[in-house]
Amino acid sequence: MIVAGADGCRTGWVVCRRDADGVLDIRVVKTLAEACEGLLILAVDMPIGFVDVPRPPRACEVEARKLLPGKASSVFPTPCRPALDGTTHAEANALSKSLGIGLPRQTFHLFPKMREVDALMRGNKALHAIVHEAHPELAFARMNGGKPVLSKKRKPEGFAERLGLLARHGFDWTPSTVSGAARDDVLDAIAVCRTALLIAEGTAKRLGAEHERDRYGLPMNIWF
């Protein structure tokens, strides 16, 4: 049984694969489609499924923020589907505003990755059983007894705290350079790889109702 977690990085996606013996393989791929090959479950830190209007937001996001007091801002607001067509922040923001609320610039910077995941999932229904949306801070909170990890992962103490949590839950990683990915991207990929394992084992938790789907039938759930 091979599971994996993926997080977007500057050169594509950093992917942590875990085999049946618990051995981790971490590498960077250009497309998420490459990361899906030979997997039972892939947990990805990127939205799957989009509402048609920005308000109300996806239920899973609202639930995620409630579970992360002090860290709720790590759950970026997912854009409504029409705004995804915007080619500039100004255009996407105007589209979103016309439907109810504006769009943060930070969210717009994730549009290329969001579009990639959306096209992949809409183009291959078989992936609906394999690819699941996850969130690293929810994963770390679960490893931390349900308490959000409030330290910043880009700071030495925050990095070390998360590294220790991963090791205690069977995902030991000796920090090393992964070409094309920042160290905190690797941490997040490993964290959601643990979520993928929990999904495969049937012990993961799901936010958002099972029947929550967007107009294309894509699930709107976050797993941890």
Domain count, the chain: 1
Whether residue 83 lies inside any domain: the answer is: no
83-99 confidence digits (pLDDT tens): 999 999 999 999 999 99
Domain span including residue 126 = 1-76+110-216+219-223
For the chain, percent of residues with pLDDT exceeding 70: 100
Whether residue 90 lies inside any domain: the answer is: no
CATH of residue 70's domain is 3.30.420
12-66 confidence digits (pLDDT tens): 999 999 999 999 999 999 999 999 999 999 999 999 999 999 999 999 999 999 9
Whether residue 52 lies inside any domain: the answer is: yes
Token pair recorded at residue 171: 């995902």
154-184 confidence digits (pLDDT tens): 999 999 999 999 999 999 999 999 999 999 9
Whether residue 186 lies inside any domain: the answer is: yes
Whether residue 177 lies inside any domain: the answer is: yes
Helix axes 136-143, 156-168, angle to 10 degrees: 60
Rounded mean pLDDT, 1-20? 97
Global pTM reads 0.96
Whether residue 94 lies inside any domain: the answer is: no
Whether residue 146 lies inside any domain: the answer is: yes
Q: What pLDDT sits at residue 19?
A: 97
Whether residue 86 lies inside any domain: the answer is: no
